[in-house]
Amino acid sequence: MMDCQQVKLTLSAFQDGRVLDEDRRLIQEHLARCPGCAERLAQLEMVRQSLRAMPQRPMPSHLVFALRSLASREAARRRYYAGLRGAVKALAERASLWANNLMRPVALPAAGGLVSAVFLFTLVLTNFQGIERRHANDVPLAVVTAPTVRSVLFDLSDDSEVTLDIFVDEQGRVLDFVIPKSYGSVATEDMRRRLAATLLMTSFNPATAFGQPVSGWVRVKFRGRSEIDVRG
């Protein structure tokens, strides 16, 4: 059931036949029992009849031409953009189909080749990890390296221990040696002579700077008849 407010809002659409069948039935039932709404509908009908009775003035020819021209341009514009979008869409679909047909035979072998390459690279890299290659004639590439003992033949004839700072030239020859103060001093001249003789029988790899041999100091500890400790 509709009230007066709802009916008044829909009377114009009711006159034009633009309401649903169920709404039309409800409006007709309301108009049959409501004199106010029926009077409102009668007034709207009078206005409609008055408008229809008014003489129709012919439309100016220039306005007709302008409207037709505007409609023609709008129709052409829509056809153009519709055709352009259609052409672009068709071209895109053809390009996509061509690319799919081209890549389909290559995609699976390429993927398999990539997986195989990654697997082989990982296998080779794993096999080479941890391998350290050293040769007798390798040139140290560190910025600075200390002298190292190449060969030694010594005999202190007892179990004494002596620590020396030895100066080695760029050819690996011993030029001088001193006993650090913190390690005491050699008690006898005989011990010094034995140390000098031992160093004469010892060969060193010279210190290096940027891969080139240079002179430098190295600390060496002699123990008894067979032990030597190089600290650099």
Contact in structure between 109 and 103 (CB atoms under 8 Å): no
End-to-end CA distance of the chain: 109
* Residue 105 CA: distances (Å) to CA of 48, 95, 96, 214: 74, 17, 15, 64
pLDDT of 139 above 70: no
Q: Strand, helix or coil at 188?
A: coil
Long-range CB pairs of 168-172, under 8 A, 24+ apart, other chains included:
168/204, 168/206, 168/207, 168/215, 168/216, 168/217, 168/218, 169/206, 169/215, 170/206, 170/207, 170/213, 170/214, 170/215, 171/206, 171/213, 172/147, 172/203, 172/204, 172/205, 172/206, 172/213
Question: Using one digit for the tens of pLDDT, what is the confidence trace for 146-169?
Answer: 888 877 665 555 566 778 888 888
Tally of residues, the chain:
232
**pLDDT given at position 131:** 43
pLDDT of 218 above 60: yes
Strand order in the sheet with 174-178: 174-178, 161-168, 216-223, 227-230
**How many percent of the chain have pLDDT more than 70?**
72
Identify which of 194, 197, 158, 182 has the alpha carbon closest to the alpha carbon of residue 231.
182
Query: How many Å apart are CA 38 and CA 44, to the nearest integer?
Result: 10
**pLDDT given at position 33:** 92
Decide which of 27 and 105 is more confident: 27
**pLDDT given at position 130:** 45
pTM of the full predicted structure?
Answer: 0.35
pLDDT of 192 above 70: yes
pLDDT of 209 above 90: no
Query: How many Å apart are CA 136 and CA 74, to the nearest integer?
Result: 90
Residues 101-111, mean pLDDT to the nearest whole number = 60
Residues 174-181, mean pLDDT to the nearest whole number = 78
DSSP state of 213: E
Question: Using one digit for the tens of pLDDT, what is the confidence trace for 8-52?
Answer: 889 989 988 888 999 999 999 999 999 999 999 999 999 988 888
Residues 211-222, mean pLDDT to the nearest whole number = 84
Decide which of 30 and 137 is more confident: 30
CA 59 to chain centre: 69
**pLDDT given at position 215:** 87
Question: Using one digit for the tens of pLDDT, what is the confidence trace for 51-67?
Answer: 888 888 787 877 777 88
Structure tokens at 13: 């659409």
Average pLDDT over the chain, rounded to an integer: 76
Decide which of 211 and 27 is more confident: 27
Structure tokens at 115: 């997986």
Query: How many Å apart are CA 195 and CA 42, to the nearest integer?
Result: 139
**pLDDT given at position 142:** 52
Taking the domain 144-230, which CATH number applies? 3.30.2420
